[in-house]
Amino acid sequence: MSDFDFDLFTIGAGSAGVRASRMAAAAGARVAVAEERDLGGTCVNVGCIPKKLFVYAAHFREEFEDAAGFGWSVGERRFDWSTLLSNKDREIARLNGVYAKLLDDAGATRIEGRARLLDPHTVVVGERRFTADTILIATGGWPSLPEVEGIEHAISSNEAFHLSELPRRAIIVGGGYIAVEFAGIFHGLGVDVTQLYRGPLFLRGFDDDVRTGLAREMRKKGIDLRFDSNVKRIAKRDGRIVAELAEGGSVEADLILYATGRHPLTLDLGLEEAGVELNPKGAIVVDEFSRTSVDHIWALGDVTDRINLTPVAIAEAMAFVKTVYGGAPTSPDHEDVASAVFSQPPIGAVGLTEAEARERYGEIDVYRSQFRPLKHTLSGRDEQTLMKLIVDRASDRVVGCHMVGPDAGEIIQGVAIALKCRATKAQFDATIGIHPTAAEEFVTMREPVG
C-alpha cells in the first residue's frame, strides 16, 4: 500500500479530468478529483452543449420562413427566452448528475472546492490536505477580456448563457468561432447583431474560401459584419451600451459580448512552487505523453493549450491512463483532427487548408464546388453551400476537406475517417454517392480548379 492518500489526484473535473479519473479508478487506482465549479467543465456548462442547444433554437426562425415554399402555413409565432433558458438549465443539471454518477460508480472520490498544490505531492482544498503519488492538472481555460476603457460593461460567453433577458441589439467583439457562433445565435433569436473584428477576415486558421464564404452568407442574413474594426472605448449612456470605434464612429446596443480569446486556468494553482513549467501564455508545458516538467505531474486539455476541443481532451485522457496505469506508453494523436463551427450556416473542416497544403507539398490540386442546396430551390432562400477538397498531387492523397453548409459537422465526421486512413482522390472518386444529398458532392468533384 502506498504511503500517499491517493494514487492519483486530479485537479479539474472537465472532459479530460473526468475521463482520466474514472478510467484510472476503473483500472484499480485510488483516485480523487477536485472541482470548484460544476462537473463537466466548459463543454457541459458554458460551452459545447448549451451552445448547440442555443443554435438549435436559433434555427427555427429560418425553418418557419422556409416552410411556406413547401406548402406549410405557419401561424403567429413568438420566442420566449426564459423558456429556452430554464430548459437548457434542466439539461445541464441532468448532465452534471451523469458525470457525478460516472465518477462515483468508478470508485473515484469527489471533492468540492478549489485545489492547489502545496508541494509536488500535496494538494490543498480549503483546510484539507491530501497527498498523491501522481497529480493531474485538468483545469481548462477561461475567457479573456482585453484592457479596454469601459470593459466592465462587457460580458463574456460565460455570462451569455445566463442572461436574464434577451437584448434587442447586441455587439459581438471577436473573430473566432465563439464570436461567430454567438452572432448567429443572437441573430436567429431576433436580435439585431453587429460583429466587430480587428483583422481583415475572421476565423484565422480556417481555409480562406471557408472564411470568405461564411462572411458572405452571414451578411446575406442581415448580420452587420465589420472587419478591420477596433473598439477604442465602451460607455454606458441612458441604459445603452455605446462602443466607440478606433476608426471613427460608434455602435449602440443593449449588450456587448467579448469573445476575443481564452487563457489557460493556471493562476494560483501552486504550479510554479511545485516546479511545473509554464509557457509565456500561462499554459502548462508538456511532452508528447502529456507529462509536465515534474516527473509525476501531468496535464491534459485546454490548460495545455494544444488543440482546445473536448474530444481531443478525452483522447488525451485515454492516452494518459494507458501510459500511467495500462503499461502501454501512448501519446495522443493530434493529426487530422476534425472540427466544426456551429455558425449559420455551419463549417466542417479536417486536414490542411489550401495555404498550408501549398506550403507543405508545393504541387497540389484543389477541387471546389459551390451550389444552392436542394431545399432552397423551394424555400427561395439565397444560401450557397461550399465544399472543397485539397489533394497532394504527388501521392493523390486527400489532405484537406472543408465545407460551409447545412450539416457540415455531421458530414465532415465521416470524411475525417477517410483522411485518417490516408484515402486518395481516386478512392473518393470510386465511392458511389448517396443521392440526393449534399455529401455526395465530396465524391463527385472531378475537375480541379485552376
Burial of 163 (0-12, 13-18, 19+ CB in 10 A): middle
Residue whose C-alpha is closest to residue 302's, from 35, 16, 36: 16
Q: Please answer whether residues 288 and 203 qualify as being in contact, where contact means their C-beta atoms are separated by less than 8 angstroms.
A: no
Q: Please answer whether residues 367 and 347 qualify as being in contact, where contact means their C-beta atoms are separated by less than 8 angstroms.
A: no
Q: Please answer whether residues 213 and 225 qualify as being in contact, where contact means their C-beta atoms are separated by less than 8 angstroms.
A: no
119: three-class secondary structure by DSSP: strand
d(CA 430, CA 427): 5
DSSP string, 17-52: HHHHHHHHHHTT--EEEEESS-TTHHHHHHSHHHHH
373: three-class secondary structure by DSSP: coil
The CB density around residue 199, as the number of other CB atoms within 10 Å, is 12
DSSP letter for 75, please. -
Q: Which amino acid is at 64?
A: F
Q: Please answer whether residues 205 and 175 qualify as being in contact, where contact means their C-beta atoms are separated by less than 8 angstroms.
A: no
Burial of 315 (0-12, 13-18, 19+ CB in 10 A): buried
Phi, psi of 341 (to 5 degrees): -115, 120
Positions marked active-site: 435
Q: Which three cell numbers stand for residue 408?
A: 457540415
Give Cβ neighbours of residue 297 (< 8 Å, ≥ 6 apart).
Answer: 120, 134, 135, 136, 137, 274, 276, 291
